[in-house]
Amino acid sequence: MSTDCDNAVEVIGENRVRVKCRKCRTPITLDFGGLSREEALAMTAVIDRTPRECPGFHVELSGWRRLWRMDEAIEALYPCHCDLCRLEEAAVEAAKGGGM
C-alpha cells in the first residue's frame, strides 16, 4: 500500500505534469497539449474507463483518474478562478488572518 507524498504532482512544462501512480509509485508524464480545462476533464473521463497497463507493470480495467492523480494534475495546470473558489480562498485567508 502506497502513501501520498507532497511531490506527487509536478508541473514540468506548459501543459505537462509528472505524477506518481498511487499503486506502484511509477512516475507518469501526462501531456494535455492545447486542451482547455473542460477538454482535459473530458479526456480524463475517457482515459479513466479505458483498460490499460501502467508503466509500473500492473493492468487495470478502470480507475486511472484516481491512480494517476489526474484531478490533481488538472488543478495544477488549470487553477480554478470561478467566483465560488475565490470566495472560498478569501474565507481561508481571512481565517488565517484572524477573522473576516
17-32 pLDDT per residue, tens: 999 999 999 999 999 9
Q: Comparing 59 with 100, which gets the higher pLDDT?
A: 59
The mean pLDDT value for 3-18 works out to 81
Q: Map grid coordinates 502506497 to a residue.
A: 2
Q: Is residue 49 in a domain?
A: yes
Q: What is the pLDDT of residue 43?
A: 94
Residue 54 forms part of a structural domain: yes
Number of domains in the chain: 1
Is 3 part of any domain?
no
Give domain status of residue 1, yes or no: no
Cα separation, 38 vs 11, whole angstroms: 19
Domain presence at residue 2: no
Name the residue with higher pLDDT: 100 or 95. 95
Domain housing 82: 9-97
Confirm whether 64 is domain-assigned: yes
Tell me the per-residue pLDDT of 31-67, one tens digit each, with 9 for 90 and over: 999 999 889 999 999 999 999 999 989 999 999 999 9
Classify residue 40: in a domain, yes or no: yes
For residue 43, tell me if it sits in a domain: yes
Phi, psi dihedral angles at 26 (to 5 degrees):
-75, 135
Length of the chain counted residue by residue:
100
The pTM for the full model equals 0.71
pLDDT at 31: 95
Report how far residue 53's alpha carbon sits from residue 37's, in angstroms, rounded to the nearest whole number.
25
